[in-house]
Homo-oligomer: A and B are copies of this chain.
Amino acid sequence: MERALHLGVAGATGLVGGEFLALLEKRRFPLASLRLFASARSVGRRLRWGAGEIAVEDLATADPRGLDVLLCSAGKRVAAEQAPRFAAAGAIVIDNSSAFREDPAVPLIVPEVNGARLRDWLAGARSGATLARGGIIANPNCTTIVLLLPLDALRRAFGLEEVVVSTYQAVSGAGREARDELLGQARAFSLGEPETWRHYDRPIFLNVIPKIGDWVGADCFEEVKVVRETRRILGAPDLRLYATTVRVPVERCHSASVFARLGRPATEVEVREALAGAPGVALEDLPTPRELARREEVFVGRIRVGPDDGRVVRLWIVSDQLWKGAALNAIQIAERIAADGG
């Protein structure tokens, strides 16, 4: 039975924070109350909500009591400090950072893929009709979420032996500074002025940079996250998954070129049926990121089987990484909590 929730949004003034507010409104999220949190320097700002405004509170010093759920997109370091504080006060914190994703006690959830894990966790946290205690749920990495919906559909239908993925990731995945850096470079270039950069070590305009996040051995951190989180959510610790993550001069929506070797041969018709029937997935002949911003689905196109081996499937995947890759996935988790009776 759905219950309206006392909801908080942490990182409300950031890129993902703005998407939280847009989606709460778009999806008519059942709200009993809404509080907004950000860093100290945003305190005093008032953000538009419905017909009115809500004053931003300092996440670090705000009273954590009284929230059912906190949607947290405040960065890894801040989340590591603040999420436990809000959880101890009784909130379920759905955290968008990588701070808790590798903690085996913290569920890492894509509702369409491992919603059952969320149900079990909620049952364990429950006492009678309401939650007895708070806790932390981790929202996976944006690229992981976007890949998982079609990969899980293939895995359920045919099994999955090996996946090779190369990504084409939008700058907004790195936050507002990176987004503004790209647009600023485009403007400077067009006006014949010198381009500047700080987030990346070179221009991203008219460029592609095959490294996202810090180095972790021969991989970059984004690749490590995609591999570890995908294996964990699928419960497939030995899945052969090879990721190369690349930043491209796109403002919004991540794309990925995927090669998958299935457990058994399939026809193109079977593959299309499996994908078309997967929750959250939409087929599109030629999905491209600029045209699919602010859409909720993971779009899959360029579906090819073979040609010589019916176990080889190739896909081109596009999805709004600020929505399904971040804010929307977290809100879908919160919706399940609300539907579950809170």
Asked if B257 contacts A207 (CB within 8 A), the reply is no
> Which of A7-15, A48-56, A153-161, A243-251 contacts the other chain?
A243-251
A208 touches which one: B187, B206, B207, B248 (CB < 8 A)? Answer: B248
Asked if B249 contacts A249 (CB within 8 A), the reply is yes
State in angstroms the CA–CA spacing of A218 and B207 once bound together.
Answer: 28
Asked if B255 contacts A210 (CB within 8 A), the reply is yes
Asked if A111 is an interface residue, CB under 8 A from chain B, the answer is no
Nearest B-chain residue to A217, judged by Cβ? B307
Q: Which residues of B contact A205 (CB under 8 A)?
A: 186
How far in angstroms is the closest Cβ of chain B from A121?
31
Asked if B302 contacts A244 (CB within 8 A), the reply is yes
The size bracket of the interface on A is: 35 or more
Q: Which residues of B contact A206 (CB under 8 A)?
A: 249-251, 289-290
Q: Which residues of B contact A323 (CB under 8 A)?
A: none
Copies of this chain, whole number: 2
Asked if A210 contacts B257 (CB within 8 A), the reply is yes
> Which of A74-82, A94-102, A274-282, A308-316 contacts the other chain?
A308-316
A residues 225-248 near B (Cβ < 8 Å) are: 240, 242, 244, 246, 248
Asked if A259 is an interface residue, CB under 8 A from chain B, the answer is yes
> Which of A183, A244, A316 gathers most chain B CB within 10 Å?
A244
Asked if B208 contacts A242 (CB within 8 A), the reply is no
Asked if A286 is an interface residue, CB under 8 A from chain B, the answer is yes
A residues 299-326 near B (Cβ < 8 Å) are: 301-304, 308-309, 312, 314, 316
Chain A residues engaging chain B, CB cutoff 8 angstroms: 164, 166, 168, 183, 186-187, 189-191, 202-203, 205-211, 218-219, 240, 242, 244, 246, 248-251, 255, 257, 259, 268, 286, 288-291, 301-304, 308-309, 312, 314, 316
